[in-house]
Copies of this chain bind each other. A is one copy, B any other.
Protein backbone atom coordinates (compact mmCIF):
# COMPACT_ATOMS: atom_id res chain seq x y z
CA UNK A 1 0.00 0.00 0.00
CA UNK A 2 1.19 3.50 -0.88
CA UNK A 3 0.41 6.75 0.90
CA UNK A 4 0.14 10.18 -0.68
CA UNK A 5 -0.19 13.74 0.51
CA UNK A 6 -1.28 16.66 -1.66
CA UNK A 7 -0.40 19.81 0.22
CA UNK A 8 -2.27 22.90 -0.90
CA UNK A 9 -2.70 26.40 0.44
CA UNK A 10 -6.33 25.85 1.44
CA UNK A 11 -6.50 22.14 2.09
CA UNK A 12 -4.53 18.95 2.19
CA UNK A 13 -5.58 15.64 0.75
CA UNK A 14 -4.12 12.53 2.30
CA UNK A 15 -4.77 9.10 0.90
CA UNK A 16 -3.71 5.47 0.84
CA UNK A 17 -4.08 3.01 -1.99
CA UNK A 18 -2.56 2.13 -5.33
CA UNK A 19 -4.42 4.30 -7.85
CA UNK A 20 -7.73 6.01 -8.69
CA UNK A 21 -9.74 2.80 -8.33
CA UNK A 22 -8.18 1.83 -5.04
CA UNK A 23 -7.94 4.94 -2.94
CA UNK A 24 -9.06 6.02 0.49
CA UNK A 25 -8.91 9.82 0.86
CA UNK A 26 -9.29 12.37 3.64
CA UNK A 27 -9.47 16.11 3.26
CA UNK A 28 -7.80 18.25 5.95
CA UNK A 29 -7.98 22.05 6.01
CA UNK A 30 -4.59 23.77 5.89
CA UNK A 31 -3.82 25.27 9.28
CA UNK A 32 -0.42 25.87 10.91
CA UNK A 33 2.12 23.06 10.37
CA UNK A 34 1.77 21.42 13.83
CA UNK A 35 -1.99 20.76 13.90
CA UNK A 36 -2.02 19.93 10.17
CA UNK A 37 0.76 17.37 10.49
CA UNK A 38 -0.88 15.89 13.57
CA UNK A 39 -4.14 15.45 11.63
CA UNK A 40 -2.26 13.83 8.73
CA UNK A 41 -0.42 11.39 11.00
CA UNK A 42 -3.56 10.56 12.99
CA UNK A 43 -5.39 9.65 9.81
CA UNK A 44 -2.47 7.62 8.46
CA UNK A 45 -1.79 5.80 11.76
CA UNK A 46 -4.15 2.82 11.25
CA UNK A 47 -2.60 2.13 7.83
CA UNK A 48 1.00 2.70 8.89
CA UNK A 49 2.05 -0.98 9.18
CA UNK A 50 0.97 -1.60 5.58
CA UNK A 51 2.42 1.57 3.99
CA UNK A 52 5.56 0.85 2.01
CA UNK A 53 6.26 4.40 0.78
CA UNK A 54 4.91 7.94 1.00
CA UNK A 55 4.74 10.51 -1.78
CA UNK A 56 4.23 14.21 -1.14
CA UNK A 57 3.18 16.80 -3.74
CA UNK A 58 3.50 20.12 -1.99
CA UNK A 59 3.23 23.84 -2.50
CA UNK A 60 6.61 25.54 -2.45
CA UNK A 61 9.20 26.80 -3.07
CA UNK A 62 10.73 23.54 -1.88
CA UNK A 63 14.23 22.11 -1.61
CA UNK A 64 14.09 18.95 -3.74
CA UNK A 65 17.77 18.05 -3.83
CA UNK A 66 18.03 14.81 -1.88
CA UNK A 67 21.72 15.36 -1.27
CA UNK A 68 21.03 18.69 0.46
CA UNK A 69 20.70 18.88 4.26
CA UNK A 70 17.71 21.12 3.52
CA UNK A 71 15.88 18.45 1.52
CA UNK A 72 12.14 18.91 1.98
CA UNK A 73 12.40 22.40 3.42
CA UNK A 74 9.73 24.91 2.38
CA UNK A 75 11.18 28.25 1.27
CA UNK A 76 9.59 31.72 1.02
CA UNK A 77 6.06 30.39 0.46
CA UNK A 78 3.01 32.67 0.53
CA UNK A 79 1.83 30.58 3.54
CA UNK A 80 4.14 32.31 5.99
CA UNK A 81 3.64 29.81 8.85
CA UNK A 82 4.93 27.05 6.62
CA UNK A 83 8.23 28.70 5.75
CA UNK A 84 11.03 26.56 7.11
CA UNK A 85 8.79 23.52 7.59
CA UNK A 86 10.59 20.28 6.70
CA UNK A 87 8.78 17.40 5.04
CA UNK A 88 11.62 15.20 6.26
CA UNK A 89 10.32 15.56 9.82
CA UNK A 90 6.94 14.09 8.82
CA UNK A 91 8.68 11.32 6.87
CA UNK A 92 10.74 10.47 9.95
CA UNK A 93 7.71 10.31 12.19
CA UNK A 94 5.92 8.06 9.72
CA UNK A 95 9.06 5.96 9.26
CA UNK A 96 8.66 5.09 5.58
CA UNK A 97 10.68 6.01 2.48
CA UNK A 98 9.35 9.35 1.25
CA UNK A 99 9.40 11.00 -2.18
CA UNK A 100 8.72 14.69 -2.65
CA UNK A 101 7.97 17.03 -5.52
CA UNK A 102 6.02 20.20 -6.21
CA UNK A 103 2.23 20.15 -6.34
CA UNK A 104 2.35 20.91 -10.07
CA UNK A 105 4.87 18.16 -10.82
CA UNK A 106 2.80 15.79 -8.72
CA UNK A 107 -0.29 16.60 -10.75
CA UNK A 108 1.69 16.21 -13.99
CA UNK A 109 2.77 12.74 -12.87
CA UNK A 110 -0.79 11.87 -11.81
CA UNK A 111 -2.19 12.86 -15.21
CA UNK A 112 0.65 11.02 -16.98
CA UNK A 113 0.05 7.85 -15.02
CA UNK A 114 -3.76 7.75 -14.78
CA UNK A 115 -5.26 10.82 -16.47
CA UNK A 116 -5.28 12.78 -19.70
CA UNK A 117 -1.50 12.74 -20.01
CA UNK A 118 -1.32 8.99 -20.59
CA UNK A 119 1.06 8.00 -23.38
CA UNK A 120 2.79 11.37 -23.58
CA UNK A 121 6.57 11.53 -23.45
CA UNK A 122 6.65 15.32 -23.12
CA UNK A 123 3.75 16.59 -21.07
CA UNK A 124 2.90 19.93 -19.57
CA UNK A 125 0.44 20.26 -16.69
CA UNK A 126 -0.84 23.71 -15.84
CA UNK A 127 -3.14 24.77 -13.05
CA UNK A 128 -4.97 28.06 -12.58
CA UNK A 129 -6.63 28.62 -9.23
CA UNK A 130 -5.47 30.40 -6.07
CA UNK A 131 -2.10 30.42 -7.79
CA UNK A 132 -0.81 29.46 -11.22
CA UNK A 133 1.65 26.61 -11.56
CA UNK A 134 3.12 24.29 -14.11
CA UNK A 135 4.72 20.88 -13.99
CA UNK A 136 6.40 19.06 -16.83
CA UNK A 137 7.49 15.65 -18.01
CA UNK A 138 10.47 15.94 -20.38
CA UNK A 139 11.92 12.92 -22.11
CA UNK A 140 9.51 10.81 -20.05
CA UNK A 141 10.78 12.11 -16.71
CA UNK A 142 9.69 14.82 -14.29
CA UNK A 143 11.47 18.08 -15.02
CA UNK A 144 12.96 19.44 -11.83
CA UNK A 145 16.07 21.31 -12.81
CA UNK A 146 17.76 23.29 -10.06
CA UNK A 147 15.24 23.65 -7.23
CA UNK A 148 12.19 23.44 -9.55
CA UNK A 149 10.30 25.45 -12.16
CA UNK A 150 8.05 28.31 -11.08
CA UNK A 151 6.14 28.58 -14.34
CA UNK A 152 3.22 30.54 -12.90
CA UNK A 153 5.48 33.56 -12.52
CA UNK A 154 6.46 33.96 -16.19
CA UNK A 155 6.14 37.48 -17.53
CA UNK A 156 3.64 38.31 -20.25
CA UNK A 157 2.67 41.42 -22.24
CA UNK A 158 -0.01 43.65 -20.74
CA UNK A 159 -3.37 43.86 -22.46
CA UNK A 160 -3.24 47.56 -23.35
CA UNK A 161 -6.62 48.52 -21.89
CA UNK A 162 -6.18 46.62 -18.60
CA UNK A 163 -5.32 48.98 -15.72
CA UNK A 164 -5.05 46.25 -13.03
CA UNK A 165 -1.54 46.38 -11.52
CA UNK A 166 -1.33 42.66 -10.68
CA UNK A 167 -1.36 41.00 -7.28
CA UNK A 168 1.83 38.91 -7.06
CA UNK A 169 3.67 39.99 -3.89
CA UNK A 170 7.02 39.30 -5.59
CA UNK A 171 6.47 40.35 -9.21
CA UNK A 172 3.26 42.39 -9.39
CA UNK A 173 2.06 41.69 -12.90
CA UNK A 174 3.56 38.30 -13.69
CA UNK A 175 1.12 35.70 -15.08
CA UNK A 176 -0.01 34.66 -11.59
CA UNK A 177 -0.37 38.32 -10.63
CA UNK A 178 -2.62 38.98 -13.62
CA UNK A 179 -4.62 35.79 -14.14
CA UNK A 180 -4.91 33.75 -10.92
CA UNK A 181 -8.18 33.54 -9.02
CA UNK A 182 -7.16 36.34 -6.61
CA UNK A 183 -6.21 38.51 -9.63
CA UNK A 184 -9.68 38.01 -11.09
CA UNK A 185 -11.25 38.92 -7.75
CA UNK A 186 -8.95 41.92 -7.31
CA UNK A 187 -9.56 43.26 -10.81
CA UNK A 188 -13.33 42.82 -10.93
CA UNK A 189 -14.26 43.24 -7.28
CA UNK A 190 -15.89 39.87 -6.78
CA UNK A 191 -14.77 36.23 -6.67
CA UNK A 192 -14.12 34.50 -9.98
CA UNK A 193 -16.98 32.06 -9.42
CA UNK A 194 -19.44 34.98 -9.25
CA UNK A 195 -18.41 36.41 -12.62
CA UNK A 196 -21.08 35.38 -15.16
CA UNK A 197 -20.00 33.67 -18.40
CA UNK A 198 -20.69 36.79 -20.51
CA UNK A 199 -18.53 39.00 -18.27
CA UNK A 200 -15.55 40.60 -20.08
CA UNK A 201 -13.33 39.10 -17.37
CA UNK A 202 -13.25 35.81 -19.24
CA UNK A 203 -12.11 37.23 -22.56
CA UNK A 204 -9.26 38.99 -20.75
CA UNK A 205 -8.50 35.83 -18.76
CA UNK A 206 -8.11 33.84 -21.99
CA UNK A 207 -5.94 36.67 -23.38
CA UNK A 208 -3.46 36.44 -20.50
CA UNK A 209 -3.52 32.67 -20.04
CA UNK A 210 -2.90 32.13 -23.77
CA UNK A 211 0.26 34.25 -23.56
CA UNK A 212 1.53 32.44 -20.49
CA UNK A 213 0.78 29.10 -22.10
CA UNK A 214 2.49 30.25 -25.31
CA UNK A 215 5.65 30.92 -23.30
CA UNK A 216 5.51 27.47 -21.71
CA UNK A 217 4.84 25.77 -25.06
CA UNK A 218 7.59 27.68 -26.88
CA UNK A 219 10.11 26.75 -24.18
CA UNK A 220 9.16 23.11 -23.55
CA UNK A 221 7.51 21.96 -26.79
CA UNK A 222 5.11 19.58 -25.01
CA UNK A 223 3.21 17.09 -27.12
CA UNK A 224 0.23 17.48 -24.81
CA UNK A 225 -1.01 20.03 -22.28
CA UNK A 226 -3.33 19.08 -19.43
CA UNK A 227 -4.98 21.99 -17.64
CA UNK A 228 -6.66 21.99 -14.25
CA UNK A 229 -7.51 24.23 -11.32
CA UNK A 230 -10.66 26.00 -10.20
CA UNK A 231 -10.52 28.98 -12.57
CA UNK A 232 -10.35 26.73 -15.64
CA UNK A 233 -13.66 25.12 -14.68
CA UNK A 234 -15.33 28.25 -16.12
CA UNK A 235 -17.43 26.98 -19.07
CA UNK A 236 -15.93 27.94 -22.42
CA UNK A 237 -12.62 29.17 -21.00
CA UNK A 238 -10.53 26.22 -22.24
CA UNK A 239 -11.96 26.61 -25.75
CA UNK A 240 -11.31 30.35 -25.76
CA UNK A 241 -7.79 29.77 -24.45
CA UNK A 242 -7.07 27.21 -27.15
CA UNK A 243 -8.21 29.60 -29.90
CA UNK A 244 -6.25 32.50 -28.44
CA UNK A 245 -3.10 30.36 -28.09
CA UNK A 246 -3.25 29.47 -31.78
CA UNK A 247 -3.80 33.12 -32.71
CA UNK A 248 -0.82 34.19 -30.59
CA UNK A 249 1.54 31.56 -32.03
CA UNK A 250 0.36 32.45 -35.55
CA UNK A 251 1.22 29.08 -37.05
CA UNK A 252 4.92 29.39 -36.20
CA UNK A 253 4.76 26.24 -34.11
CA UNK A 254 2.53 23.50 -35.45
CA UNK A 255 0.14 22.35 -32.72
CA UNK A 256 -1.86 19.12 -32.77
CA UNK A 257 -5.61 19.79 -32.79
CA UNK A 258 -6.01 18.10 -29.40
CA UNK A 259 -2.95 19.64 -27.73
CA UNK A 260 -4.94 20.95 -24.75
CA UNK A 261 -7.04 18.63 -22.60
CA UNK A 262 -8.78 19.24 -19.31
CA UNK A 263 -7.47 17.49 -16.23
CA UNK A 264 -9.01 14.03 -15.91
CA UNK A 265 -8.19 13.69 -12.24
CA UNK A 266 -9.37 17.13 -11.11
CA UNK A 267 -8.73 17.89 -7.46
CA UNK A 268 -7.04 14.54 -6.96
CA UNK A 269 -4.34 14.91 -9.63
CA UNK A 270 -1.71 15.92 -7.07
CA UNK A 271 -2.70 13.21 -4.60
CA UNK A 272 -2.56 10.53 -7.27
CA UNK A 273 0.74 11.97 -8.46
CA UNK A 274 1.99 11.65 -4.89
CA UNK A 275 1.15 7.93 -5.04
CA UNK A 276 3.03 7.86 -8.34
CA UNK A 277 6.05 9.47 -6.67
CA UNK A 278 5.93 6.85 -3.92
CA UNK A 279 5.71 4.10 -6.53
CA UNK A 280 8.68 5.53 -8.49
CA UNK A 281 10.70 5.70 -5.29
CA UNK A 282 10.08 2.03 -4.56
CA UNK A 283 10.85 1.06 -8.17
CA UNK A 284 14.16 2.96 -8.00
CA UNK A 285 15.09 1.26 -4.73
CA UNK A 286 14.13 -2.16 -5.98
CA UNK A 287 14.60 -2.26 -9.77
CA UNK A 288 12.52 -4.98 -11.47
CA UNK A 289 15.64 -6.55 -13.01
CA UNK A 290 17.15 -7.06 -9.55
CA UNK A 291 14.04 -8.55 -7.97
CA UNK A 292 13.98 -12.20 -7.14
CA UNK A 293 11.70 -14.59 -9.03
CB contact under 8 A between A154 and B61, given known A76-B252, A138-B145, A170-B251 = no
* Binary CB contact string for chain A from 243 to 286 against chain B (1 if under 8 A, 0 otherwise): 00000111111101000000000000000000000000000000
| Residue A216 at the chain B interface, CB threshold 8 Å | yes
Does A146 contact B122, Cβ atoms closer than 8 Å?
Answer: yes
* Binary CB contact string for chain A from 147 to 170 against chain B (1 if under 8 A, 0 otherwise): 111110111111000000000001
Once the chains are docked, how many angstroms separate the CA of A220 from the CA of B146?
Answer: 9
- Picked from B154, B156, B256, the residue with its CB within 8 Å of the CB of A219 is B154
Closest to A120 in B: B146
Residues of B within 8 A of A219 (CB): 134, 136, 149, 151, 154, 215-216, 219-220
Does B157 contact A156, Cβ atoms closer than 8 Å?
Answer: yes
From DSSP, what is the main secondary structure of chain A's interface residues? loop
Closest to A250 in B: B170
Residues of B within 8 A of A145 (CB): 122, 138, 220-223
* Binary CB contact string for chain A from 107 to 126 against chain B (1 if under 8 A, 0 otherwise): 00000000000000010000
| Residue A19 at the chain B interface, CB threshold 8 Å | no
| Residue A40 at the chain B interface, CB threshold 8 Å | no
Does B250 contact A220, Cβ atoms closer than 8 Å?
Answer: no
Does B215 contact A144, Cβ atoms closer than 8 Å?
Answer: no
- Residues of A within 8 A of B (CB-CB), count: 45
* Shortest beta-carbon distance from A249 to chain B in Å: 8
Once the chains are docked, how many angstroms separate the CA of A21 from the CA of B45?
Answer: 62
- Picked from B138, B150, B170, B253, the residue with its CB within 8 Å of the CB of A139 is B138
Residues of B within 8 A of A147 (CB): 221, 253-254
Chain A, 90-141, CB within 8 A of any chain B CB = 122, 134, 136, 138-139, 141
- Most B CB within 10 A of own CB, among A146, A150, A223, A250: A146
| Residue A211 at the chain B interface, CB threshold 8 Å | yes
* Known pairs A149-B219, A170-B252 / 18 extra A-B pairs, C-beta < 8 Å: A61-B253, A61-B254, A122-B144, A122-B145, A138-B138, A138-B143, A139-B141, A139-B144, A145-B222, A145-B223, A146-B221, A146-B223, A146-B256, A148-B221, A149-B221, A150-B253, A155-B248, A219-B220
23 CB-based A-B contacts, threshold 8 Å: A61-B254, A76-B252, A134-B219, A136-B219, A138-B143, A139-B143, A143-B221, A145-B220, A146-B223, A148-B221, A149-B221, A150-B218, A150-B221, A150-B253, A151-B218, A153-B253, A154-B215, A154-B219, A155-B215, A157-B157, A171-B248, A219-B220, A220-B220
